[in-house]
Amino acid sequence: MKAAIVGTGYVGLVSGVVFADAGIKTICVDNDQAKLKMLRSGKSPIFEPGLEEMMQRVEEKGHISFTDSISDAVQASDVIFIAVGTPPQEDGSPDLSYVKAVARDIGRAITKYIVIVDKSTVPVGTAKMVHEIILGECGDASLFDVVSSPEFLREGSAVEDTVNPDRVVIGADSERALNTVKRLYTGFPTEILETDIASAELIKYASNCFLATKISFINMISRYCEAAGGNVDDVAKGMGMDTRIGKQFLKAGLGWGGSCFPKDVSALIWMGETLGVDAGILTSTVAINEDQPAHCLRRVSEELGGLEGKKIAIFGLSFKPHTDDIRDAKSLVIIDALRSMGASISATDPICMDEVAKLHPDVEMHTDAISAAQGADAAILVTEWPEYAGIELSDLASALKTPLLFDGRRVFTAEDAKAAGIKRLTIGEQG
């Protein structure tokens, strides 16, 4: 069994490396020459725990190779995955131009039977569109099948999620294609859901939108706690003890960001508009999420008597811990808003400072939280990297001009803050 994956991003590279580690000869394709150069020298262009080590191991064994030639990959493989980006457009729809370009290149190269798997997150009807593009190029429908198998890995634990997936969804309308893809997952400890293609395409959007809604729901509840009393963590705990609700994705905070939730929620709203389906829940989910950083800054501003001329320290820049991804990160929203209010910014992050500095050269970068806080009027904890839980709050209080911390991810308790002599504001608690 030989596999190829087009796109060596978070999804494609991790999937390729994990397949190769499972003994499947895998070809990874990308058209970014700088990425290919790094990959061939054993360096991962992205940060994911455990990825680079596993990649070096499979490269030594000769189980993985890297190329810019989709044609070579098609010739050498039984299955080819499309794992290129599908970024959001102005109207919320995903940009399918990368998927279409890859489909055309695959179509031109086909000479023997191959299964094409849409792994990118794409709207219902995309597998059909990919089929038409490929047929238009190769002219023989017996030479290929198109299958939808969306990806569910989480950045920050992508390798672990791919080695031990919760589920593998395979949407296929051909037994031959279904069985070929199933064979790839022999040996993976997972449940396989076989379904029709449209359902597979929808499962991905439905899953991400449900998770985003769960987070926005608890953030809505957090406002009740702030207004009426109560602790949102206790409310979430009590809700999560009900197995029908579940504990996960009930952490109140500055809201969701990243490369998937924002664009997938926008895409499902857009799909609703085009299909005549009312996606009202999702528009509220977005509205709640967009107000979280603004709500944080309103509260900090009230406490400081305005933000004009103030300096604010930001702890954490990636959209969540354990990743170098800053796409749609709350830190960027907060930096923009602070700047527009006339504040200056110092910041720290274990991995992302260089990337953010390219976008915001005026942000002062520091290697640790206490240095970032030195002389600032307040600090905002934006991303809950584990190292920030170890911040000595009394040191933070001494470093800040005003001992004020907005704990945007509810890392510290009211008691921790009181004992250290620092004023703690947070989401979902009065104070």
Which residues, at least 6 apart from 167, have a Cβ–Cβ distance to it below 8 Å?
Answer: 152, 190, 191, 192, 193
Considering the complex, what minimum distance in angstroms separates the CB of residue 379 from ligand NAD? 28
Considering the complex, state which of residue 31 and residue 75 has its C-beta at the smaller distance from ligand NAD. 31
Considering the complex, state which of residue 122 and residue 347 has its C-beta at the smaller distance from ligand NAD. 122
3-state secondary structure at position 120: coil
Distance CA 81, CA 147 (A): 9
Q: Which of 19, 81, 98, 412 binds ligand NAD (CB under 6 A)?
A: 98
Considering the complex, what minimum distance in angstroms separates the CB of residue 345 from ligand NAD? 27
CA dihedral 385, 46, 332, 344 (to 10 degrees): 80
Q: Which of 59, 79, 85, 250 binds ligand NAD (CB under 6 A)?
A: 85
Q: Does 259 bind ligand NAD (CB under 6 A)?
A: yes
Considering the complex, what minimum distance in angstroms separates the CB of residue 6 from ligand NAD? 5
Cβ atoms of 88 and 266 within 8 Å: the answer is: yes
Considering the complex, what minimum distance in angstroms separates the CB of residue 85 from ligand NAD? 4
Considering the complex, what minimum distance in angstroms separates the CB of residue 31 from ligand NAD? 4
- Matching residue, tokens 């953010």: 356
Interface residues for ligand NAD in 132-151 (CB under 6 A)?
151
260 catalytic? Reply is yes
Distance CA 61, CA 322 (A): 28
Q: Which of 51, 80, 127, 153 binds ligand NAD (CB under 6 A)?
A: 153
- From residue 5 to residue 44, the character string flagging contacts with ligand NAD as x (rule: CB under 6 A) and all else as - is -xxxxxxx----------------xxxx--x---------
Considering the complex, state which of residue 68 and residue 392 has its C-beta at the smaller distance from ligand NAD. 68
3-state secondary structure at position 258: coil
Q: Does 200 bind ligand NAD (CB under 6 A)?
A: no
Residues facing residue 347 across a β-bridge? 314, 365
3-state secondary structure at position 211: helix
Distance CA 176, CA 261 (A): 33
Q: Does 213 bind ligand NAD (CB under 6 A)?
A: no
3-state secondary structure at position 324: coil
How far from the centroid of its chain's Cα atoms is residue 248's Cα? 16
Cβ atoms of 99 and 122 within 8 Å: the answer is: yes
Q: Which of 65, 120, 285, 426 binds ligand NAD (CB under 6 A)?
A: 120
Chain residue whose CB lies nearest ligand NAD: 9
Q: Which of 3, 83, 202, 420 binds ligand NAD (CB under 6 A)?
A: 83
Considering the complex, what minimum distance in angstroms separates the CB of residue 254 from ligand NAD? 19
- Catalytic, out of 28, 209, 260, 296: 260
DSSP assignment letter at 374: T
Considering the complex, state which of residue 162 and residue 301 has its C-beta at the smaller distance from ligand NAD. 162
Distance CA 14, CA 160 (A): 10
Considering the complex, what minimum distance in angstroms separates the CB of residue 100 from ligand NAD? 9
Distance CA 114, CA 308 (A): 61
Distance CA 275, CA 135 (A): 26
Sequence letter at residue 386:
P
- From residue 338 to residue 377, the character string flagging contacts with ligand NAD as x (rule: CB under 6 A) and all else as - is ----------------------------------------
Distance CA 171, CA 19 (A): 20
The contact set with ligand NAD (CB under 6 A) reads 6-12, 29-32, 35, 83-86, 98, 101-102, 120-121, 151, 153, 155, 259-260
Residue positions annotated with a catalytic role: 260
